[in-house]
Chains A and B, each alone.
Chain A
Amino acid sequence: MKPFANEPILELRRAPVRAQLAGALEAFDAQGVIDVPVWIGEDARYGDALLSTDPGEPSRVVARAAVAGAGDVDAALALAAGSSWGRRSAEERGAVLVRAAAWLRERRLALAALEVREAAKPWREADADVCEAIDFLEYYARAAIALAEHPAGVPGTAAELLQPPGERNELRWVPRGVVAVISPWNFPIAIPLGMVGAGLATGNAVVLKPAEQAPGCALALVRALREAGVPPDALALLPGEGDVGARLVADPRVHTIAFTGSGPVGLEIVQRAAVPAPGQRHVKRVVAEMGGKNCVIVDADADLDDVVPALVKSAFNYAGQKCSAAARVLAHEAIHDALVARLAGAIEVLQVGQASDPEIDVPPVIERSAQERVARYTATAEAAGRIVARAGDVPSRGWFATPALATDLPADSPVLADEIFGPLLAVERVASVPEACDRVDASPFALTGGLFSRSPRTIEYVADRSPVGNLYVNREITGAMVGRQPFGGNRLSGTGTKAGGPGYVLQFVEPRVVTENTVRHGLVV
């Protein structure tokens, strides 16, 4: 296989590339509503218990899905437990994943259009999500092959096992067993496919419970894998709501749970998974990526020409609905007022509108409850502090939330503590970078963070003190790339695993060491 390289995003700055978008959306709309089955083995059962709609036009139904019941969960796990997928070689499995990547690549615009409609992802972000999905497949396929070829680390490195005379030490990695994937809607193809892909690449059968907001995207990725050659018993699709996930988590046939979503749900999964079910003979492993309350420190020597666009991007792209999005700016008092003034002006010109319109900056949020949540926190911010800027012209139909900038909040404001997951950014004044680091350190979250400084000493100081999983210096804090910024948080933001990084596949395998004595009659044979 060629060395891994990121799938290039569309060069949308070129007009001929942009010109393809409208046609892709038209073609998508012409297909009509997507039917998403409960898909277990060869059996696809259709239904309409679950509807996904366009957040910008809630009367438009994008997908209708059957919902998995207790019997479906049971059937899917029974089939998965008996799958022989793990007995194929890593190369064979990797080839299947790479074929799935090619399937996605051939349908890039169609898949992006699906995300535009079902999750209100703006084109640029939708395209980036499809590219990331491709990257995950290509990356984990190679990672699993590398693990099979060099199970004890790269020869000649410290990671390799020592082999004294008369002793043969061998490390091998075997699939842990059935993986249950519970995925979110905000990266509706890449995140589920990343978790599913890592599980499959390492030889496990996988059962996917996708977000109820995006079943259409989930079907697309399951089709990609099935059509590329993943056997029916190795991958099941179980659309539904929280109860489906809860059944999977509790079932003794599940070995690994890969979850990306909210903190409360993640912690509940960790707790439930720790209790063995009757007959269970293993400890479940939970890979959880949860929330964040991400801070960006802006030091006095920062270049505000760079800071303002990067903050706007980090906080408002995809309406702030990224776990990595910026929520708090900790601005040095020397530049605080200038930064707030410029940031306010930049937020006021943000264009809020339909994700399908390439000219917009901020799309709607995912659903009514999200819209209400953002409005509630904005009201809280206004009551206890100030809203210094709002974007104008927010459409009245659809789940639109108004991008806003809050300042002068009391230190104990929930606006500064809770993950809002919407387009509300708060700026706080700090007297120094150490004070900013103290505030970051006080947070229970540690997902992403940012720093703007032109002093190498400050950069080293903040890097040393930041608990976050991903610290971005002098750039936006979103947009982690597979193989470049392995992504994942610490503290209550996650279990410390790094999606798109070199060690991620290890979460899905268990090690076995075989030591053979090769001395017979005093001779090494």
Chain B
Amino acid sequence: MVDESALERELFEVGRQMAAALPTTRNPLKVLDDKAMDLASSDAELKAALFRFVDVVPACRNLDDLARHLTAFLEEVGEPPPSVGVAMRMGNTKAGRRALGMAAAAGVRHMAHRFIVGERPDAALGVLRDLWKDGVASTVDLLGEATVTQAEAQRYADRCADALDTIAGAAAAWPPREQLERDSAGPLARANLSVKVSALTPLLRADAPERGKRDAADRLRPLLRRAAERGAHLHIDMESMDSRDAVLELVLSLLAEDEFREAPSAGLVLQAYLRDSPATLDTILAWGAERAQPLTIRLVKGAYWDHELVQAAQHGWSAPVFERKADTDANFERLTRRLLDARPAVRVAIASHNLRSVAHAIAYNRLTGGADADLELQVLRGLGDPLQAAIAAQGLRVRTYCPVGDLVAGMAYLVRRLLENTSNESFLYEQARGVALDELLAAPR
């Protein structure tokens, strides 16, 4: 048992150091897009209009089409700010629409480039190498359209295999970075890929998971083999509740197969916003497969909160997620402790942009006698950049989740990121608003 008041003192100390190490120039939301995000955060209608626009951009056929969509969304804003009025007037003429379309397209591209590191893995190598040189590890996520056919599933699997080859090949030439390459359990892979099970099969059905699991297994096994050959780490992402159990069961059963006993290094995700996440962690810890390398558990809060609530409300089900953000935050801390206590059976990656959540993990680890090297922190490209720099500056291991893909494929990802981070409850929003550090570091209640 840890002394709670000692922990809070340590946590505040770590948090203050971290805050002091944050680059002062750029809050990620400020740079997102000038005033657009500020406006969007304060006006729900405008926010909806902007997000619906961002969502439709890849489907627009030309600049005129783009501008027509933009003005149609803006028409629905009840009390438009002056800048919106200007856009609306531009929409009245062909030349105006062209100019508006160009400006809007440039804006969205600009935004996308903050979150997406390249269109293809080879195009992302420069960014990945620069991150590495700065003391930041990465995991690559291949964005794509939804998988509805076998051909699409195979294409995604092929892209994943190619990404493993490309990244592992290039990473061999990166300079040594001791804090990123080793923990007490042994060496850590430089190349790290995150994959989505729903993209590996068109057959995953929420209420009939067996066929989808079998089909996904047929594509996941070759990827595990490839990762093993390449000495890369393969991380299996979690998505919505509809596939949670299927993904968990699939990964635990595959990784228990004899063939994968030695390699590759692999991982799973635990979503703290799920009410039953403690039971999921029980399942993972009781798994007991004998593998050479411990399973890496990435603890996140979860990115499908609105979806889960809407779906549950429409079906009359009880919500699978905590409805209060503070409950998620508190659960996140409890799961953090259980994960850290469970080492060396697992490797622990704490993925959050919330300074309190990050500082809590670091402080708890230190107070319970853990080595800094046995705790990994993870952030998202584009949103966690300042935090990433601050963590790296402390000599701690940080890994940045780097989406790779074209604008069309990336739009769903982009919209989700924007939505979750302009939410009035998001940590980044509060930070951008200038909430006092002590308040940001206060325990969830």
Contacts and interface: CB of A to CB of B under 8 A. Distances in A.
Nearest to A389: B149
A7 B316 contact: yes
Given A301-B69, A305-B146, A455-B72, A124 B207 contact: yes
Interface stretch (B52-60, B102-110, B369-377): B52-60
Given A9-B315, A11-B315, A358-B207, A345 B412 contact: no
A305 B202 CA distance: 12
A11 B210 CA distance: 16
Contacts of A14: 245
B406 interface: no
A45 interface: no
Interface stretch (A72-80, A92-100, A346-354): A346-354
Contacts of A8: 315-317
B208 interface: yes
A457 B149 contact: no
B152 interface: yes
Interface of B: 52, 55-56, 59-61, 65, 68-69, 72-73, 75-76, 145-146, 148-152, 202-203, 205-208, 210-211, 241-242, 245, 315-317, 412
A333 to B, nearest CB: 11
B202 A346 contact: yes
A344 B316 CA distance: 33
Nearest to B69: A455
A7 B69 CA distance: 39
Given A334-B61, A346-B148, A456-B75, A5 B316 contact: yes
Contacts of B210: 359
Nearest to A357: B208
Q: Which of A7, A344, A455 has the most chain B CB atoms closer than 10 A to its own CB? A: A455
Given A11-B315, A346-B202, A454 B55 contact: yes
Contacts of A304: 145
Interface in A1-30: 5-9, 11-15, 18
Contacts of B316: 5-9
A342 B145 CA distance: 11
Contacts of A5: 316
A334 to B, nearest CB: 6
B315 A346 contact: no
A305 B412 contact: yes
Contacts of B61: 300, 334
B108 to A, nearest CB: 14
Among B56, B75, B149, B206, which residue has the most Cβ atoms of chain A within 10 A? B149
A397 B27 CA distance: 65
A337 B251 CA distance: 36
A123 B206 CA distance: 13
Nearest to A359: B208
- Interface centre among A14, A301, A308, A456, by most chain B C-beta atoms within 10 angstroms, is A301
Interface string A282-304: 00000000000000000011111
Nearest to A334: B61
B207 A15 contact: no
Nearest to A305: B146
A351 B315 CA distance: 25
B59 A301 contact: yes
A11 B317 contact: yes
B216 to A, nearest CB: 13
A153 interface: no
Given A302-B59, A454-B56, A342 B148 contact: yes
A47 interface: no
Contacts of A41: none
Contacts of B52: 454
Contacts of B202: 345-346, 349
A14 B208 CA distance: 10
Contacts of B75: 456
Contacts of A456: 72-73, 75-76
Nearest to A15: B245
Contact of B206 (A12, A312, A345, A455): A12
Main secondary structure, interface of A, reads loop
A486 interface: no
A368 B241 CA distance: 40
B149 A348 contact: yes
29 contacts: A8-B315, A8-B316, A8-B317, A11-B315, A12-B207, A13-B206, A13-B207, A300-B61, A300-B65, A301-B56, A302-B59, A303-B59, A305-B145, A308-B146, A342-B148, A342-B149, A342-B152, A345-B151, A346-B202, A349-B150, A349-B202, A358-B208, A361-B205, A454-B55, A454-B56, A455-B68, A456-B72, A456-B73, A456-B76
A18 B149 CA distance: 26
Nearest to B202: A349
B150 to A, nearest CB: 6
Contacts of A69: none
Nearest to A343: B148
A301 B317 CA distance: 33
Contact of B149 (A15, A300, A349): A349
Contact of B60 (A301, A308, A359): A301
Contacts of B69: 301, 454-455
A309 interface: yes
A102 to B, nearest CB: 17
Given A15-B245, A348-B149, A457 B72 contact: yes
Given A309-B148, A361-B205, 5 more contacts: A7-B316, A9-B316, A12-B207, A18-B207, A349-B149
Nearest to A306: B146
A58 B68 CA distance: 56
A334 B60 CA distance: 10
A334 B146 CA distance: 19
Q: In the complex, which of the residues B146, B210, B241 has the most CB atoms of chain A within 10 Å of its own CB atom?
A: B146
Nearest to B206: A13
B317 A346 contact: no
Question: What 3 pairs between A and B have smallest CB-CB spacing?
Answer: A345-B149, A8-B316, A12-B207
Contact of A345 (B59, B60, B148, B208): B148
Nearest to A10: B207
Contacts of A349: 149-150, 202-203
A108 B148 CA distance: 32
A466 to B, nearest CB: 19
Contacts of B205: 359, 361
A359 B206 CA distance: 10
A263 to B, nearest CB: 32
Interface in A318-350: 334, 342, 344-346, 348-349
